[in-house]
Structure 1
Amino acid sequence: MNRATTFVTGAISGLAALAGWRYYRSHATERVDYKTLRLHDDIELRQYPAVVVAETVADSASEARSRLTSYLAGANEAKAAIPATTPIRTHTEPLELATPTQQESSTDRSRVGVYLPQSYSPKTAPSPDDSSVVLTVETPRTVAVRPVRLYPRVDRFEQATARLRSTIVDSELVAVGSPFVLSYDNAVLGSLTGRAEVGVEIA
């Protein structure tokens, strides 16, 4: 494949992902309901209900979002559009790979999930056509969240996560699993605009 073909293919893929994401943003009408338990320093403790999640793991967040947008737009067993909700949940997780020399290396992949409306249950949520998109159920859980500031421009998510971890330790709370990002306006994660939070489940 020559450079021109590679460029055209990449451009078409990028435009398709952008179009799908604009569809998602225009159809995000519901927000996952939760109850605020208490505020502690700069974090908020929330109680979330059980909810069905469509999620996928991809090499990039944009690729993952494109798959989920297709699922919500009708690439599912019911061939029907599913109302989109907000926020979007994103984990960045390492993937161990074997190199030609059999040494292990690590690269980051994105696990992105969209919450289905509360009216959907595990029995009524339509199965995805794409086998890389799976449906899971998050049981009721307590989550500690901290807002991500618009600035600094660099490493703002990393800094917010570090402050969240520090506050949890100082508060003698017990975190479960790894931190994640909740994006509320569904903008591209890591951009300079948009409201987002970092969160982690609390035991």
Structure 2
Amino acid sequence: MLLVTALGSAAMAVETPPYKEVRRDGDFEVRDYPALVVAEVTVDGDQKEAANKGFRLLAGYIFGANRTRQGIAMTAPVAQEAVGEKIAMTAPVAQTQSAAGTWVVRFTMPRAWSLETLPVPDDSRVTLRRTEPARFAVLRFSGLARPDDVRTRSDELLAWVKSHDLHATGRVTLAQYNPPWTLWFMRRNEVMVEIER
């Protein structure tokens, strides 16, 4: 899973999913996230193309392309997950697109909304669902988060997980919390992987 944030900066109050910090070790953390409500789409292309296509569809939904023409606040981060990949502890897999080049792109909905209260999307490609509570190992870093950088950080994260006798159960993810115009050295990025509790 790759997480990509298209909006949000220190100057903009953008809601992020709540979590409980379970453990901190330098730039590494273990976090517990609650169940979340998300809107998602499945799109094709390379990582960047898929992120752009998915973002446009989901942004349309939250900016009023729904049955009630109601706006929904932007949150961070936006998730991008390669379809069909499995986690492997010996190599990072999250940065490599699936053979078919298919991705799921996801926005977390603000906490004020539920599946029952969210407006129905106009575009049938946008689906709404609830995620399960999950525990993640996380490594925070700055910069542009280019594929090679993400691969290196993913290797570091998976090595840390293994060295602490933790067990990964999901795909490595990338979380970016800043808009595209943010200077590279001021960007907040994270790679994350779901682990057993």
1:1-58, Cα deviation, whole Å (9 max, x unpaired): xxxxxxxxxxxxxxxxxxxx98x55986312111111113542111111110111121
Q: Percentage identity across aligned positions? A: 32
Does the CA contact (< 8 Å) of 2:138 and 2:191 recur in 1?
yes
Which AA in structure 1 matches 2:195? Answer: I
Q: Larger % of strand: which?
A: 1
Separation in structure 2 between the aligned mates of residue 70 and residue 28 of structure 1, nearest angstrom: 20
Give the structure 2 partner of residue 71 of structure 1: 61
TM-aligned CA distance change 1:94 to 1:77, over 3 Å:
same
Once the two structures are TM-superposed, the CA of residue 125 in structure 1 deviates from its matched residue by 1.6
Separation in structure 1 between the aligned mates of residue 175 and residue 144 of structure 2, nearest angstrom: 17
Q: Larger % of helix: which?
A: 1
Does the CA contact (< 8 Å) of 2:175 and 2:191 recur in 1?
yes
Give the structure 2 partner of residue 187 of structure 1: 180
Which AA in structure 2 matches 1:85? Answer: T
Give the structure 1 partner of residue 28 of structure 2: 43
Which of the residues 76, 89, 100 maps onto 2:79?
Answer: 89
Give the structure 1 partner of residue 194 of structure 2: 201
Which AA in structure 2 matches 1:51? Answer: L
Question: Quick check: 34-43 or 112-121, which moved more?
Answer: 34-43
Q: CA RMSD in A?
A: 2.8
Once the two structures are TM-superposed, the CA of residue 180 in structure 1 deviates from its matched residue by 1.4
* Aligned pairs for 1:173-184 within 5 A: 173-184=166-177
Q: Does 1:110 align with 2:103?
A: yes
TM-aligned CA distance change 1:131 to 1:186, over 3 Å:
farther
Does the CA contact (< 8 Å) of 2:39 and 2:127 recur in 1?
yes
Separation in structure 2 between the aligned mates of residue 162 and residue 192 of structure 1, nearest angstrom: 21
Q: Report the count of equivalent residues.
A: 171
Separation in structure 1 between the aligned mates of residue 145 and residue 58 of structure 2, nearest angstrom: 30
Which of the residues 21, 29, 34 maps onto 2:14?
Answer: 29
Ranges in structure 1 where 5+ consecutive residues have no aligned partner: 1-20, 96-104
Larger radius of gyration: 1
Which AA in structure 1 matches 2:16? Answer: R
Does the CA contact (< 8 Å) of 2:141 and 2:189 recur in 1?
yes
Separation in structure 2 between the aligned mates of residue 86 and residue 152 of structure 1, nearest angstrom: 16
Separation in structure 1 between the aligned mates of residue 177 and residue 104 of structure 2, nearest angstrom: 17
Which AA in structure 1 matches 2:155? Answer: A
* Aligned pairs for 1:124-203 within 5 A: 124-150=117-143, 155-187=148-180, 192=184, 194-203=187-196
Ranges in structure 2 where 5+ consecutive residues have no aligned partner: 45-49, 86-97
Question: Quick check: 122-131 or 191-200, which moved more?
Answer: 191-200
Does the CA contact (< 8 Å) of 1:43 and 1:145 recur in 2?
yes
TM-score by length of 1: 0.73
Give the structure 1 partner of residue 93 of structure 2: none
Which AA in structure 2 matches 1:112? Answer: V
TM-score by length of 2: 0.76
1:109-137, Cα deviation, whole Å (9 max, x unpaired): 33211111111112112221111111111
